Amino acid sequence: MISPVPIPAGTFTIGKTFDFEAGHRLPSLPPDHKCNRQHGHSYQVEVILTGSSLNGPGFVTDFADLAPFKRFLDTELEHQNLHEVLPFEPTSELLARFLAGWFVQNVQPGIPGKLVAVRVRETARSWARFDLVEA
């Protein structure tokens, strides 16, 4: 059996990635900008949570408890034109902030972990991240 080791102080961090397909355009951009035209993305959304202690059997949050977030993405954003269903121009930055707010309001009250950031990836090489700050 492996000998015990000293346990350092710290926090635990977990992340889970979700995906959805959607289209959008950014009409406030100049007409000749490519993102002014309708186009689509295979979005990936990562939620990042932290906790200073673990819940049985050793989780910050059970990944299964994040299912309401996936349902929201599937029912409200999947195969939608985001500029038609969201109350703001759907840049990745604003989408990350909106999804963080939705998560805090609708998922976080029922789980032990605390959301620290949401990252929205439009492509394999581009993403935006919204970090929550303590009030």
Which CATH number covers residue 39? 3.30.479.10
Q: What is the 3-state secondary structure (H, E, C) of 18-52?
A: EEEEEEECCCCCCCCCHHHCCEEEEEEEEEEEEEC
**Can you give the pLDDT at residue 135?**
65
Structural domain boundaries enclosing 28: 16-131
Query: 56 is written with which tokens?
Result: 């049985």
Give domain status of residue 6, yes or no: no
Asked if 41 is an active-site residue, the reply is no
**pLDDT for residue 78:** 98
Catalytic residue among 35, 46, 76, 89: 35
Q: What confidence score (pLDDT) does residue 25 get?
A: 93
DSSP state of 131: E
For residue 112, CA distances in Å to 32, 73, 85, 103 come to 47, 21, 31, 13
Distance separating the N- and C-terminal Cα atoms of the chain: 45
Q: Is 79 a catalytic residue?
A: yes
Look up 24 and say whether it is catalytic: no
Please give the tally of structural domains in the chain: 1
Tell me, what's the pLDDT at 134?
79
Provide the pLDDT for residue 102: 98
Q: What is the pLDDT along the chain (135 residues), one digit of tens a residue?
A: 999 999 999 999 999 999 999 999 999 999 999 999 999 999 999 999 999 999 989 999 999 999 999 999 999 999 999 999 999 999 999 999 999 999 999 999 999 999 999 999 999 999 999 999 976
Parallel, antiparallel, or unpaired: how do β-strands 126-131 and 114-123 relate? antiparallel
Residue 3 covered by a domain: no
Measure the CA–CA gap between 15 and 116, rounded to whole angstroms.
10
Active-site residue identified among 21, 39, 78, 79: 79
| Per-residue confidence (pLDDT) for residue 61, from 0 to 100 | 97
- CB neighbours of residue 59 within 10 Å: 17
